[in-house]
């Protein structure tokens, strides 16, 4: 048998010195916290992706829902107008109101939207004129003409209707915008339903892109409030 200088047979696995074993254990312990950190990050990412995916589905499904009353008022979300003439996007929303009005969905129509610097007319004024020309009585139309975004307009609508003792609304807007409008209306104290326009000019890839952005906005708005979106 061949012996080493320390009289142990060649091929024998000698135990590591105590200091070496302790160093190895210490190194493994130092690595373990990083594993937990990475695991935690992975879980957070999965939860965030799942939350976004669920919200995206809700944006899509709400945009394809339909409520036909009864309610206290139909609320039309504003969009661009060109010197008193509704843009195609706004006109599509108003055309849907013209379809709903004879059905007796609600006795009032609230048109919303202020104006940009340099404009002569507000979005609400353009909407009111458009509806009157198509048979909606002027006395049934209420104007909210100060808001410059969805939250401001719906908060003002809530105040206008509260003064009349009303709060139950059907919101008319584009499909991609329906869920955020509904949740914003509920945040400001309204009981909200949606009836998205079926003739929206926002379609195809453009609509899909806006749904993706709306899902992000809704996901964040639910956490921090829609007044910050």
Q: Give per-residue pLDDT as tens, 157-188.
A: 999 999 999 999 999 999 999 999 999 999 99
**CB under 8 Å to 70, separation ≥6 — which residues?**
104, 105, 106
Separation between Cα atoms, residue 175 and residue 200, nearest integer Å: 8
Whether residue 70 is preceded by a cis peptide bond, meaning omega within 30 degrees of 0, is yes
Identify the CATH number of the domain defined by range 73-228: 3.40.50.620
Between the alpha carbon of residue 19 and those of residues 6, 16, 31, the distances in Å are 20, 8, 19
Local structure of residue 13 (DSSP, 8 states): -
Burial 56-95 (b: 16+ CB within 10 A, else e): bebbbebbeeebeeebbbbbbbbbebeeeebeebbbbbbb
Between the alpha carbon of residue 154 and those of residues 39, 45, 77, 110, 209, the distances in Å are 42, 33, 9, 10, 24
Residue 3, pLDDT above cutoff 50: no
Share of residues in the chain with pLDDT > 70 (%): 86
Residue ranges covered by each domain of the chain: 73-228
Q: Give the least confident one: 9-13, 37-41, 112-116, 212-216.
A: 9-13
pLDDT at residue 26, rounded to an integer:
55
Contact 160, 144 (CB under 8 A): yes
**Which residue's entry shows tokens 């945040």?**
187
Residue 16, pLDDT above cutoff 70: no
Query: How many C-beta neighbours within 10 Å does residue 28 have?
Result: 9
What average pLDDT does the structure give for the chain?
A: 90
């Amino acid at each position: 048998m061949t012996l080493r200088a320390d009289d142990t047979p060649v091929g024998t696995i000698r135990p590591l010195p105590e200091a070496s074993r302790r160093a190895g254990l210490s190194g493994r312990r130092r690595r373990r916290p990083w594993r937990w950190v990475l695991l935690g990050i992975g879980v957070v990412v999965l939860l965030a992706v799942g939350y976004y995916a669920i919200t995206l589905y809700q944006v899509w499904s709400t945009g394809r829902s339909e409520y036909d009353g009864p309610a206290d008022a139909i609320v039309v979300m504003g969009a661009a107008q060109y010197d008193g003439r509704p843009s195609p996007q706004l006109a599509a929303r108003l055309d849907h109101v013209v379809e709903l009005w004879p059905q007796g969905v609600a006795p009032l129509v609230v048109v919303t939207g202020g104006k940009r610097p340099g404009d002569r007319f507000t979005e609400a004024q353009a909407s009111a004129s458009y509806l009157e020309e198509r048979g909606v009585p002027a006395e049934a139309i209420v104007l909210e003409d100060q808001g410059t975004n969805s939250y401001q307009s719906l908060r003002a609508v809530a105040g206008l209707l509260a003064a009349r003792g009303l709060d139950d609304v059907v919101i008319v807007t584009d499909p991609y915008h329906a869920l955020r409008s509904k949740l914003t209306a509920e945040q400001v104290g309204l009981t909200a339903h949606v009836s998205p326009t079926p003739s929206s000019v926002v379609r195809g890839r453009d609509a899909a892109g806006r749904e993706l952005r709306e899902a992000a906005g809704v996901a964040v708005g639910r956490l921090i409030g829609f007044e910050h979106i």
